[in-house]
Amino acid sequence: MFLALRELAFARTRFGLMGAVIALIAVLMVLLSGLSSGLVVDGVSGLMRSPVEVVAFSEGTKADSAFTRSEVTTAQRDSWAARDDVADAELLGTSIVNAKNDDGTPVDLTLFGVDPSGFVAPDAADGRPLAAAGEAVLSSSARDEGVALGDVITLDRLGTELTVVGFTADQRTFGHVDIAYVPLPTWQEIHAGLLPGEQPDAGTYDVASVVAVRGVDGALPDLAAADAAAGTSARTITDAFDSSPGYTAELMTMQLIQVFLYAISALVVGAFFTLWTVQRTRELAVMRAIGASTGFLLRDGVLQAAIMLTAAVGVGVAVGLGLGSLLLGTGMPFALQTAPVAGGAALLLGLGLVGASIATVRIASIDPVTALGENR
């Protein structure tokens, strides 16, 4: 400990430069974690913040963008609802549409067709809940697009009009698009492509995208048995996140960038301590010659790395959080969450110590005879 602190003070410029590099890596880690979390929230917050526990797609639907490809029927909903281990089962329709506000401003929306009296329909923090056909409750983030209570949103191509009667308390998005909750019959008419005033076919009100399910007392139903009976393909709501458009590709891209960042941090720290160990070989040999054990020198070297890494990562995380807070509310998909940031900081520390430990293993091969000038 004494030797480690003395060397940190003596070579403070070199350790300071190395610490600055680690701090910058930590800043980048925080920003990447925030961007990754932001993309998740912006992509599937509508699913994350819903009371749905299981989503049943039509059988054979591909996982990619399954919400917009799947089509289930009321008979399949009834099959799920009849099970003893299912508390609630409702049809849920999903589709992404283009629309215009009263003033002609383009508005992109994901329509969620729900039963207004069912468990999927959200409460309205501002305005009132859904009650009648042609009404919509929008994500709170839709206000940023200039939508206000009482506005009439007109869907492109069909000309269907939706009156905004409420906003949710928090952000509800799907595929990076604000969600508009509408009564299921309204969604079914839009899904069928009916123009205003056009008479629906007999099967118009029989279909939806998925069956939204909630188990008894929070326990998951027997998915395999329910699928076999209903002819569906069910997944938990978390597993269904990758069925949101672009979710898997975005998440894998961010994770790959983070993996390379952590690998680079370990290599940078390892390279620094390798050079540092080479430079102080003679001093370490003197320590060996006067009786210092290999274990003592190894512990001293790792402790030295731990002190530098802890300080550098701490400073970097603090700076990263400060910069990240400036990005909140700017429209960028960015969210600061404790778990990803803490996990990233722990990985930086852990991998940095691994790199430093590998470098300081060189100490074990130092010959005390070199302290007597054998190599001169």
Range of weakest confidence among 12-21, 83-92, 294-303, 346-355: 294-303
DSSP H helices in the chain: 2-10, 12-48, 66-69, 74-81, 184-191, 223-230, 247-279, 281-289, 294-327, 338-360
Closest CA to 355 of 36, 34, 21, 32: 21
pLDDT at residue number 244: 81
Q: Which residues pair with 138 in a beta bridge?
A: 167, 180
At 109, the pLDDT band (50, 70, 90 cuts) reads very high
For the segment 288-328, what is each residue's pLDDT rounded down to a tens digit?
Answer: 777 777 777 777 778 878 888 899 999 999 999 998 888 87
pLDDT at residue number 77: 95
Residue 376 has pLDDT above 70, yes or no: no
Residue 250 has pLDDT above 90, yes or no: no
Range of weakest confidence among 135-139, 235-239, 315-319, 348-352: 348-352
pLDDT at residue number 191: 92
The neighbour count for residue 73, using CB atoms within 10 Å, is: 18
pLDDT at residue number 366: 66
pLDDT at residue number 167: 95
CA distance 158 to 193: 7
Domain parsing of the chain, residue ranges: 1-44+249-374, 60-230
Task: For residue 185, give both structure tokens.
Answer: 């019959």
pLDDT at residue number 105: 86
Task: For residue 59, give both structure tokens.
Answer: 């059988």
Residue 8 has pLDDT above 70, yes or no: no
Phi, psi values for residue 114, rounded to 5° = -130, 160
Closest CA to 177 of 133, 138, 124, 127: 138
Higher pLDDT, 11 or 110: 110
Residue 97 has pLDDT above 60, yes or no: yes
Mean pLDDT, the chain, integer: 86
pLDDT at residue number 201: 85
Range of weakest confidence among 178-187, 241-250, 319-328, 354-363: 354-363
In sequence order, what are the residues at sequence separation of 6 or more whose Cβ sits closer than 8 angstroms to the Cβ of residue 214? 51, 52, 53, 54, 86, 87, 88, 89, 119
Task: For residue 209, give both structure tokens.
Answer: 């995208």
Closest CA to 301 of 319, 322, 280, 321: 280
3-state secondary structure of 358: helix
- Name the pTM for this structure: 0.81
For the segment 142-190, what is each residue's pLDDT rounded down to a tens digit?
Answer: 888 889 999 999 998 888 999 999 999 999 999 889 999 999 999 999 9
